[in-house]
Amino acid sequence: MVATKRGATDTSSGASSSKKPRISDAQALVKAILAKPDTYPILDDDDDVRRKLVKLAQYARDLEEDLQSASQAGPAPKTMTPEQLASAVEKLRKAAKSGITKQMGWKPSCKTGSAKWVYDGVCTNPVVFGTLLELGGPPSFKMHKMDVDEFNNLLGQIQASVRHDHLYITGSHVNIRWSDSGEFKFSGTYGKWQPGEA
C-alpha cells in the first residue's frame, strides 16, 4: 500500500456549500481512478478513504437527482417545421372544437345560456398549444380567461343544432387551464343565442 501525502488530503468533503466544486472535485477523482484503475494508490488512512468514498457517493447522488429532475421536467418539445406546426395546431383545433360541440346537448338551462361545458385535452407540445391560442409562445399561465368571441375566432364558430334551434357558447369568457404536463381544460357556458350578445 502507498502512504498518503498529508498535504494532499481532501478537506472539502461536506464542507462545501456549493454543489459545483464538490462535483468538480468528484469528477477529478473519478477521472484519476479510471485513468489508472490497476495502479491508483490505495490510501492507508481510513479517514482519507472515507472522505473520498463519501465524495464519490455524494457525486452519485447529485447525478441521480439531476437525472430525476430532468425526467420530471419531461423531454423538450421537438422542433417542428412551420408545416408540421400548422398541421399539429389544426389537429388540436379540430379535436377541441368537436369535443366541445359534442357536449352541447339540450338542457333546460340552455334557455338562459347557463348550461355548462368542459373539454379536457392533452397537448404534449406547449408551442402547439400557444400557437392555437395565439399566445406568441408557450403558455405562461396556469389559468386564463379568454373572451368568447376571441375563442370562437381561434377555434372556429362553435355551435350545435337541436330540434328547432341552435346552441352557442355564451357568457363573456372561456376559462382556460394549462398544466406543464400538457394537460389542459377549456370550460364555459352555452345555450340559445342571448339578446344583446354580439
**Quick one: what percent of the chain has pLDDT higher than 70?**
79
Tell me, what's the pLDDT at 5?
A: 42
Model pTM score = 0.58
Q: Which residues contact 105 (CB under 8 A, 6 or more apart)?
A: 160, 162
Say how far apart CA 156 and CA 175 lie, in whole Å.
Answer: 17
Tell me, what's the pLDDT at 198?
A: 46
Give, to the nearest 10 degrees, the angle between helix 46-73 and helix 19-35: 110
Tell me, what's the pLDDT at 194?
A: 55
Tell me, what's the pLDDT at 68?
A: 72
pLDDT at 96 over 60: yes
Q: Which residues contact 25 (CB under 8 A, 6 or more apart)?
A: 10, 12, 55
